[in-house]
Amino acid sequence: MSDRIDTPAPPPGPLVTGTYREGPRFNTFRTHGTNDWLLICNLSGHARFGHAHGEVLTGPDDMVLLRPRIRHDYGTTPGESHWEPLWAHFIPRPGWREWLDWPEAAPGIMRLQLHDSAAKTTIVARFQYMLEINTGADRVRRELAMNALEEIILRCDRFNPRSENSRLDGRIRVAVDYMSSHFGEPMNVAHVAKRCGLSASRFAHLFKAQTGETPQRYLEIQRLNRARQLLEFTQAPIRQIAAEVGFENPFYFTLRFKQHHGASPRAWRQHLAIRRAQ
């Protein structure tokens, strides 16, 4: 393999993204890989990832992660008509390392299988959004794109057998998914427990044991984090944001937001505006 010519690497940076649709003869080769991480989402077709002792074959339900400085030898699987990946070269933010501890299919080549079509659709949509915003004209496009990448990695974490999240009791996973997608609606412990087929007391005990948070606290965190996003990326009035994330009383919303994020909603938005203007 030493006589092969290296494929040029993308320009250096915290996040470089792209996509392509290549035919049966497509191949990328870099003897020493790159200094960043490479995340690949198979949109369609099949790909091969070569290593010292063979190949890892991947399909449309696979996410592949290559460690820094690991040889790149990947392309369309022989016999396939095409391969269409979404890809991102990135430098992880502090705190991401445990989320990147995926199972190794070969040294330095990690793979997750997204065996949930709805989750795969969401991850692909966020990946495509990341690509679009990362090449756009928005002054904070890099920050928005990195936020989208973090969401993608977090969503992949539920499929990681090494992750604590993947070992949640199935009933608690139902609760977590429901609370995460319906946090703007009126909700109490008894209501969520019923969806899981548990009594309210048994549900509350099991939820705390599995997640480390009470159901009420988990729900509040989901609401306040969504409120922060709405403050950052929309001009909606604070009262409207409070109602949208499930707080009937805007004054109580302001109190809880300040306790959780260290600043009132108004101060948070003003600080962000100053930072963007600099």
CA atoms of 146 and 69, how far apart (whole Å): 22
* Residue 270: per-residue pLDDT: 86
* Residue 262: per-residue pLDDT: 84
Q: Are 185 and 194 in contact (CB under 8 A)?
A: no
Confidence tier at 91 by pLDDT (50, 70, 90) = very high
- Find the mean pLDDT for residues 242-253: 93
Please, what are the domains in the chain? 15-157 (2.60.120.280), 168-277 (1.10.10.60)
Compute the C-alpha angle 164/167/171, nearest 5°.
Answer: 125
- Find the mean pLDDT for residues 240-261: 92
pLDDT in tens, 42-51: 999 999 999 9
pLDDT of 69 over the 70 cut? yes
Q: Are 190 and 202 in contact (CB under 8 A)?
A: no
pLDDT of 181 over the 80 cut? no
- Find the mean pLDDT for residues 142-147: 91
What pTM was computed for the model?
A: 0.62
* Residue 247: per-residue pLDDT: 94
Place of tokens 């109602």: 243
* Residue 1: per-residue pLDDT: 45
pLDDT of 2 over the 60 cut? no
In order of 164, 170, 208, 233, the CA distances from 186 in angstroms are 29, 23, 21, 24
Task: Give backbone dihedrals phi and psi of 98, rounded to 5 degrees, phi first.
Answer: -65, -25
Higher pLDDT, 1 or 151: 151
Compute the C-alpha angle 178/184/189, nearest 5°.
Answer: 55
